Structure 1
Amino acid sequence: MTFPFEALSACRAELEAEATINDGPAAFPRHGLDRLRALGVLSAALPQACGGHGFGTEAHGASGLLHMLRLVGHGSLALGRIVEGHVNALRLIACYGTQARMAQVAAAVHDGALFGVWVTDGAQPLAMEAGDGAVTLHGGKAFASGVGHVTHALVTAATQGGNVHMLLVGVADTSRVHHGPDGLAGMRGAGTGRYDFTGMGVQADCMVGQAGDYLRQPEFSAGAWRAMAVALGGIERLATVLREQLAARGRAQAPAQQARIGDALIAAETAFLWTHRAAMLAAAPDRHATGDIAATVNLARLAVERAGLEVIGLVQRGLGLAAFVRTNPAERLLRDLATYLRQPAPDETLCEAAGWFTHRDLPRMEAT
């Protein structure tokens, strides 16, 4: 059974229309998520033995996952963030959890469950107290994508001794949901908010892996390529919108506009090449040094960011004031992509990668 890439590509306009409608009220893309679920997007990341395609959980599935996330990004970056978080959770469980846990997760996914990874602490960092086979949680998570819609969240929590564990917990209790932040400029449909875990009791077997696994390299840095794949979809879509709107106005033949179109296409292809390179390296941890993988993916992350920012500027200059009119689809796409590209610690990421490669070459793709 093959994944229906053509069907996913065909629903781009449908996802984009919902994203536009939902932007004003910051509504969650329920219809789009149901559409993707029906196409098998949420189950695609499960291992083949669990009824999935192994996208992201098995080495052979890296290219398939890149294409899938890219297509979702074409239609809705907000929905892309939700899907990427779901895949991220399944990937971490596959890497560090037991086969029994993976089987439980797979059953839940096939039953319609939506997973997420919430690691940004709220005002009170998430802490855990273990005892008598149970764990009590205190604190919360902020900037939690899909809050109120995600059914199971993989979260990080610290013990009193400072050890950080991953825990898989049910988050269907909407009384613990706090929406926000208010006034977010882009990605308004991603359902970003806070979740209060204070006083929640869970079974000790909810822990996934060992203490420190979440930050273990190269997985911690390598996983960033999936977010790049979603951003790539947004970059490619913006480049297409630029071409379409200039052609519709009869301005596509103007030399300055042709230069912008060419530069946008170069930037989009640059983003694809770096994302593909990062995905292929991340899928082959046994063939490359851990530092090589982490540093290359970090460079790729920054290359994609630069490509995205370049396309944003080209669209704004090419379309002029029309790019800032709310009724123009480009206006929301610009805000969503600018927000999505705001990944943490870009300066530190660049310096760490540069330091690693100061005295060694980047790994060659021929080795994969």
Structure 2
Amino acid sequence: MSFPFEALEACRAELEAEASTNDAQAIFPTHGLARLQALGVLSAALPLALGGAWPDATPAAATGLLRLLRLVGQGSLALGRVVEGHVNALRLVSRYGSEAQCAAVAADVRGGGLLGVWVTDGAHPLQLEQTAQGLTLRGQKAFASGAGHVTPALVTARTQADTTVMLRVAVGQGCVIHPSVGGLCGMRGAGTGQCDFVGLAVTPENLIGQDGDYLRQPEFSAGAWRAMAVALGGIERLTTVLRAQLAARGRAQAPAQLARIGRALIAAQTAMDWTRRAAVVATMQDRYEAGDVTATVNLARIAVERAGLEVIELAQRGLGLSAFIRTNVAERLTRDLATYLRQPAPDETLCEAAAWFTQRDLPPTEACA
């Protein structure tokens, strides 16, 4: 099948308007999500045999999904976070799940289901317990994007043998949803909340893959490229807003402002180049050494983060106090992007990648692009 990219591009302004309207009250973008579902965004990342848009593990899959996530990020970073989590769940199930589990997830998606991946524990880490009544989940997941809207969620839990397992669970009876994290300054529309599991009954059929699969490299690190793609969309959009607002004020030709525009364009293109490289090695990772995949994606993470932070600074300095006015789209974009860029362990990520490539070159990607 082909994906209707032009239709997705056409609804960017609609997604952005909803994101701005919903921000103050941290309202979930239900309209935008429905629009994306109708366009086939949530089914595009399924395996091709199950209704996906691109052949599996191919350059077309890398560039197609990159373009899709970028476009969603340009419209709404909060909605992009939800879509990226959904795609992450599809990827993990397709990689580690059984044929029956893959088919069940595809049926969920075709039926309008929104998936999520919830791995950050709350004050009481999620535990898988063997009781007289069977297997149950008890504990909390924090920073759960789409809480209250995700239907099946992929969660990680510790076992009594001190291993980590993945489970696909229906979010319903046996779960208490707290639909928002109070005080979060950015990404307020992503529905980031907490889920308390209060004895949710599960069966072995809920288990995805084997113990330790979630943390297995290179997939554990490789999946970060999809978050980069969404962030890239936000970087590109903020760069466009900077250019447009300076031009509207008649300030775009001032030398200092031209320098800011130029640096923002360079940063956005740098983020694009690194994200494209990461997408290729992560999507076709069987063609590369595992260490090359992990380290390449980790370098890309840092490159995109630095590009995003630079564009935020350029926008705020270039636009001045107007970039801090709530009614200016630049104000929300800078908050959302700064929050979205807060990926875990950036220093460790950079040092590990640098150590890997100290005595070896980056893997070539041109032949696969």
Shorter-normalised TM-score: what interval?
A: over 0.9
Paired position in structure 2 for 1:49:
49
Inter-partner Cα distance in structure 1 for 2:361 and 2:288? 12
Paired position in structure 1 for 2:201:
201
Q: How many residues align?
A: 367
Runs (5+) with no aligned partner, structure 1: none
1:1-368 alignment to 2 at 5 Å? 1-54=1-54, 58-59=57-58, 60-130=60-130, 134-173=134-173, 176-366=176-366, 368=368
Deviations 1:49-92 (A, max 9, x none): 1112148x543411100000000000000000000000000000
Given the superposition, is the C-alpha separation of residues 284 and 52 from structure 1 closer, same or farther in structure 2, using an over 3 Å criterion?
Answer: closer
Letter in 2 for 1:151: T
Inter-partner Cα distance in structure 2 for 1:353 and 1:158? 28
Inter-partner Cα distance in structure 1 for 2:238 and 2:82? 20
Letter in 1 for 2:282: A
Q: How many angstroms does 1:205 deviate by? A: 0.8
Q: How many angstroms does 1:287 deviate by? A: 1.6
Letter in 1 for 2:18: E
Asked whether the equivalents of residues 164 and 211 of structure 1 are also in contact (C-alpha less than 8 Å), the reply is: yes
Range moving further from structure 2, 173-182 or 59-68: 173-182
Asked whether the equivalents of residues 246 and 252 of structure 1 are also in contact (C-alpha less than 8 Å), the reply is: yes
Deviations 1:172-218 (A, max 9, x none): 34960113321111000000010011211012210000000001111
Asked whether the equivalents of residues 130 and 204 of structure 1 are also in contact (C-alpha less than 8 Å), the reply is: no
Asked whether the equivalents of residues 167 and 206 of structure 1 are also in contact (C-alpha less than 8 Å), the reply is: yes
Inter-partner Cα distance in structure 2 for 1:261 and 1:32? 30
Inter-partner Cα distance in structure 1 for 2:133 and 2:52? 32
Q: How many angstroms does 1:131 deviate by? A: 6.3
Deviations 1:96-119 (A, max 9, x none): 001111111111100100000000
Inter-partner Cα distance in structure 2 for 1:74 and 1:225? 16
Letter in 2 for 1:303: A
Asked whether the equivalents of residues 23 and 189 of structure 1 are also in contact (C-alpha less than 8 Å), the reply is: yes
- Secondary structure of 1:197's match? strand
Asked whether the equivalents of residues 175 and 200 of structure 2 are also in contact (C-alpha less than 8 Å), the reply is: no
Given the superposition, is the C-alpha separation of residues 62 and 130 from structure 1 closer, same or farther in structure 2, using an over 3 Å criterion?
Answer: farther
Letter in 1 for 2:216: R
Letter in 1 for 2:288: H
Inter-partner Cα distance in structure 2 for 1:138 and 1:175? 9
Inter-partner Cα distance in structure 1 for 2:174 and 2:336? 26
Letter in 2 for 1:362: L
TM-score by length of 2: 0.97
- Secondary structure of 2:285's match? coil
Asked whether the equivalents of residues 47 and 58 of structure 1 are also in contact (C-alpha less than 8 Å), the reply is: no
Letter in 2 for 1:218: P
Asked whether the equivalents of residues 174 and 198 of structure 2 are also in contact (C-alpha less than 8 Å), the reply is: no
Letter in 1 for 2:351: C
Deviations 1:96-153 (A, max 9, x none): 0011111111111001000000000011000102468942111010000000000011
Inter-partner Cα distance in structure 2 for 1:283 and 1:85? 16
- Secondary structure of 1:106's match? helix
Inter-partner Cα distance in structure 2 for 1:15 and 1:161? 45
Asked whether the equivalents of residues 175 and 195 of structure 2 are also in contact (C-alpha less than 8 Å), the reply is: no
Asked whether the equivalents of residues 174 and 197 of structure 2 are also in contact (C-alpha less than 8 Å), the reply is: no
Deviations 1:232-257 (A, max 9, x none): 00000000000100111111111111
Runs (5+) with no aligned partner, structure 2: none
- Secondary structure of 1:239's match? helix
Letter in 1 for 2:287: R
Inter-partner Cα distance in structure 1 for 2:228 and 2:66? 9
- Secondary structure of 2:79's match? helix
Given the superposition, is the C-alpha separation of residues 164 and 54 from structure 1 closer, same or farther in structure 2, using an over 3 Å criterion?
Answer: farther
Q: CA RMSD in A?
A: 1.4
Report the identity percentage: 69
- Secondary structure of 2:181's match? coil
Inter-partner Cα distance in structure 1 for 2:175 and 2:120? 20
Inter-partner Cα distance in structure 2 for 1:29 and 1:282? 29
Letter in 1 for 2:119: V
TM-score by length of 1: 0.97
Inter-partner Cα distance in structure 2 for 1:131 and 1:44? 39
